[in-house]
Amino acid sequence: MVSHANISFFIPHLGCNHRCSFCDQRSITGQTGLPDREDIKAAVNTAVRSKRYSKENTEIAFFGGSFTAINRDYMINLLKSAYPFVLDKTVSGIRISTRPDAIDAEVLSILKEYGVTAIELGAQSMDDSVLSANGRGHTASDVVKASALIKEYGFSLGLQMMTGLYKSDSEKDLYTVNEFIKIKPDTVRIYPTVVLRNTALARLVEKGEYAPQTLSDAVNDCTEYYKLFKEQGIRVIRMGLHQIKQEDYVAGPWHPAFSELCSSKIFLEKAFEGLKIFKKGSYNIFVCDREISVAVGQKKCNLRALSEAGYNCRIIGDSSISAGDFIIKEA
């Protein structure tokens, strides 16, 4: 199976006048080396040479959260640099991420003109008190309005949420999940809030006024949210932050394989369900080759949990088994 790939560029929002609690303004404004036409050309040429490159599954992605709020000339220059690769079908499209209050008919027309296919909105929460406490500067209703307009213009819609923000809790995060489901986005990203240096959240942690989620709470919650989205046919394309610099980490549920922790938890639940019809004893569980580590769990935690319940299991890779499936046989 060929998976989706992005040729990604981070576009910081220089001169941003918002004060999102989780954002390190100083590191953003101190950033040098904004990508230009040559950078885009070079990155595409490098990607094309990769053995696993697939035109149909690769997009040029402008991430950073505020693409349509940056300087308009610079935004159009970036699009003009990327669009030729859409026209000659080197990539399947262009993906951008932006703020819900930076979407209107005019900017959507520009994005359409230059081959943008997918727009992701950093919604973060659908609870106005949480949005306000975290300095987002937009409301849940902006998310609803922007989402409707994005769909009307025929773009693929992605929504991003953060769990465990300041003044949020599991109930409010679940509310956000249910509001997202009503909007029916094509994709969702779920980011547990991680506290980084030089942010308002870091100062709140220092004063003892904010405690981020623990890793196990974040895994439990995100796993439940993943299942709810999946039930509704909404693809969760990311759970957990990408790599962060060690020196920037202050607190919170960051883990290099956060998504795998959630997948392992889901596997364990399914394994218990499957083993229900078996009496306690020793079993071999055959899984897709690529999912052996997910099935075993971090530090063999799934095998331990099964064994504590009376099922001594071995996980065995089998190339004939599809991802997500497994077969249980007596050992």
- Could you say whether residue 61 binds ligand SF4 (CB under 6 A)? no
Q: How far is the CB of 129 from ligand SF4 (least distance, A)?
A: 18
Q: Which is nearer to ligand SF4, 115 or 164 (CB)?
A: 164
Please tell me what DSSP assigns to residue 205.
Answer: H
> Binding segment for ligand SF4 among 19-27, 73-81, 168-176, 266-274 (CB under 6 A)?
19-27
Q: How far is the CB of 191 from ligand SF4 (least distance, A)?
A: 12
Q: Which residues contact 169 (CB under 8 A, 6 or more apart)?
A: none
Give one DSSP letter per residue of 2-51, joined into a string: PPPEEEEEE---TT-----TT--HHHHHT------HHHHHHHHHHHHHST
> Binding segment for ligand SF4 among 14-22, 42-50, 76-84, 257-265 (CB under 6 A)?
14-22
SS3 call for 61: strand
Binders of ligand SF4 among residues 72 to 91 (CB under 6 A) are none
Q: Which is nearer to ligand SF4, 8 or 284 (CB)?
A: 8
Q: What are phi and psi of 131, to 5 degrees?
A: -60, -45
**Binds ligand SF4 (CB under 6 A): choice among 7, 20, 190, 288:** 20
Q: Which is nearer to ligand SF4, 16 or 103 (CB)?
A: 16
- Could you say whether residue 189 binds ligand SF4 (CB under 6 A)? no
**Binds ligand SF4 (CB under 6 A): choice among 7, 9, 11, 23:** 23
Q: Which residues contact 286 (CB under 8 A, 6 or more apart)?
A: 316, 317, 318, 321, 326, 327, 328, 329
- Could you say whether residue 65 binds ligand SF4 (CB under 6 A)? yes
In contact, 251 and 209? CB cutoff 8 Å:
no
Q: How far is the CB of 65 from ligand SF4 (least distance, A)?
A: 4
Pairing of strands 281-287, 311-317: parallel
Binders of ligand SF4 among residues 244 to 273 (CB under 6 A) are none
Q: CA–CA separation, 295 vs 312, rounded Å?
A: 14
Q: CA–CA separation, 329 vs 331, rounded Å?
A: 6
Provide the binding-site residues for ligand SF4, judged by CB under 6 A.
13, 16, 18-20, 23, 25, 28, 65-66, 99
